[in-house]
Every structure is written in structure tokens, then in C-alpha cells.
Structure 1
Amino acid sequence: MAVVERHAACPSESVMAIVRDGWSYAAWVVGASRIRSVDPDWPAAGSTIHHSAGAWPLVINDSTVSRSWDGAHRLELQARGWPLGEARIRIEVVPDADGEGCTIRMTEDAVRGPGTLVPKPLRDAMLVPRNVETLKRLVLLAEGRGTATGAATR
């Protein structure tokens, strides 16, 4: 699995608030271009975000399903990205000892479809840069929730 980590200068609750908001998915997940609908019980296990990927006019409608949600520190997803296939993603948020910051770890790997035929080192080489940017966006949103203007830059 491709693994990336990033520290956030905000409580883990701020990060999980973004993750819990299915409508924000396209704002931080690289490749998701718009959200079409979110199940009302998102991110409970079995709930779905219906999203689109790509740039117009080459947009593909697909979905991401929550496989597991612990409510505080971990979310596991199965994202569809056909024609490439499906990926399993885990997002874990570990609070710092002082509770003022946290570390986010994201793991991802292909589990179905043509993506599984790509050798693992090449898959990781494609996923890691994408997920580094995904976590950068997630952290910017989470840290921005704690500022009056949301104008912090990195």
C-alpha cells in the first residue's frame, strides 16, 4: 500500500469534521471534481458519496463507499474509479500528546480492476504524489476551520 503522512496544526476533531462532511470530499480528494449526492448517514459503514472525477467534458460518475468508521480517528473507504478499477483507502488521525495538533496517515492500494495489474512499485509511485496533495488539501481545510478568516497559507 502507498502510505503518506502529514502533520496538522489543529486538533484531530477539526480533521475528522472535514472527513465527516461528505460534501467537502471534492475539495480535498485529488481527482474528485464534484459531488452529486451524499447518503444522509455518511460516513457510517455502507454509506456512499456519489461523485464525479475528471475535467469536463471527460467526466466519469462514480462513487465511494465507507467500509468502516470509528467516529473519531479512522475511516476506511472503497473508492470506485472505473475504468481504472477500485481502491481501498484508510485515513487515520492520531492526536498529538497535547491535543493541539495531529498526524494524518493515509494508505491506499488498488483492490479491483486493471489497476491491480500495475506492479506495486509503479502503483505506489503514482499514488504517493496524489495522496501527498490530498493530505495537503485536507490539512489546509482543517487548519482553516480554526482561524477567523481561513486565510492561512502554506
Structure 2
Amino acid sequence: MSTVTQLFRSPAADVWEVIEEGWLYSGWVVGASRIRAVDDQWPQVGSKLHHSVGSWPFLIDDSSRVTAVEPGRKLEILAKGWPLGEARILITLEDLGGSQCRVSIAEDAVRGPGKLIPKALRDPVIAVRNRETLKRLELMAVGGAGKKS
């Protein structure tokens, strides 16, 4: 799996609030262009985000499903974007105290055409995408997105 880690200027609880608000997903996940629906149980195991990937007019409607979760610490999803394929994504949060945490995203293709690309070529592309994803997630957490008033 390609893994990217970043130190955030935000406590893990604030980052988790962004993650658990499924409607914010397209604001921080690179490639997700819109959210069409969020299961009421998000982010519990088995719940889904119904999203679109790409840019208009070339949008693909699909979904991502939670396969494992430790609230506030870890979220694993199976992201779909057929006909491109499926990827397993693991997001982990490590609270460092005060207003800092460490966030990692590990991702790899598991099915479809993306899996046919050699890992040595696939990993650097995934890493670039996920570095930007982490930057967006941090900005949203620091800015208070997902806060429950």
C-alpha cells in the first residue's frame, strides 16, 4: 500500500469530526467531485457514501463502504469508481496532545484496471493524490468543518 503521513495542527478529535461528516467527503478527498447520499449510520461498518468521481461531463457515480472503524482513530473503506476499479483505503489518526495529531492514509488498488498497473508506477501517483487529500483534510479540521454546535 502507498502510505502518506502528515503532522496536523489540529487535535485528532477535530479531524475525526470532518471524517464522520460524510457530506464533507468531496471537500477533502481528491477526485471525489460530489456526494449524492450518505447512509445514516456513516461511518459505521457497512455504511456507504454515494459519490461521483471525475469532472463534468465525465462523472462516474459509485460508492464507498466502511469495512472497519475505530471511532476517532481509524477508518477503513473500500472505495469504488468503476470502470476504473476499487481501492482499499485506511485512514489512521494519532493524537499527539494539545493541538496536534498525526494522520496517515494507506491506499492501494484491489480490483479492476488500476490493479493491473505495476505497483512501482501506481504508488507514486496515489501518494501525490493523498498528500493533497491530507492538506485539504487538515485545512477543513483547522477551519472547524464538521463541528457540531
Look up the match of 1:122.
Answer: 121
Look up the match of 2:102.
Answer: 103
Name the aligned partner's letter for residue 102 of structure 2.
T
Look up the match of 1:3.
Answer: 3
Mapped to 1, the partners of 2:98 and 2:111 lie a distance apart of 38
Mapped to 1, the partners of 2:39 and 2:98 lie a distance apart of 31
Look up the match of 1:23.
Answer: 23
Percent of counterpart pairs with the same letter? Answer: 49
Look up the match of 1:35.
Answer: 35
Classify the secondary structure of the residue corresponding to 1:83. coil
Mapped to 2, the partners of 1:128 and 1:10 lie a distance apart of 22
- TM-score, normalised relative to structure 2: 0.95
Runs of 4+ aligned structure 1 residues displaced above 2 Å come to: none
Look up the match of 1:75.
Answer: 75
Residue 30 of structure 1 deviates from its aligned partner by 0.4
Name the aligned partner's letter for residue 16 of structure 2.
M
Name the aligned partner's letter for residue 117 of structure 2.
V
Residue 99 of structure 1 deviates from its aligned partner by 3.5
Look up the match of 2:14.
Answer: 14
Residue 100 of structure 1 deviates from its aligned partner by 2.1
- Give CA deviations for 1:81-132 in whole Å, capped at 9, x if unaligned: 1111100000000011x33210001000000111111110101021010000
Mapped to 1, the partners of 2:5 and 2:143 lie a distance apart of 19
Look up the match of 2:65.
Answer: 65
Classify the secondary structure of the residue corresponding to 2:55. coil
- Give CA deviations for 1:40-82 in whole Å, capped at 9, x if unaligned: 0000000000000111111110100011111120000000011
Name the aligned partner's letter for residue 74 of structure 1.
K
Residue 10 of structure 1 deviates from its aligned partner by 1.1
Classify the secondary structure of the residue corresponding to 2:52. strand
Structure 1: gaps of 5 or more residues: 147-154
Classify the secondary structure of the residue corresponding to 2:58. coil
Name the aligned partner's letter for residue 67 of structure 1.
T
- TM-score, normalised relative to structure 1: 0.92
Mapped to 1, the partners of 2:72 and 2:3 lie a distance apart of 20
Equivalent pairs, count: 145
Mapped to 1, the partners of 2:99 and 2:58 lie a distance apart of 42
Classify the secondary structure of the residue corresponding to 1:54. strand
Structure with greater strand percent: 2
Mapped to 2, the partners of 1:30 and 1:100 lie a distance apart of 25
Structure 2: gaps of 5 or more residues: none
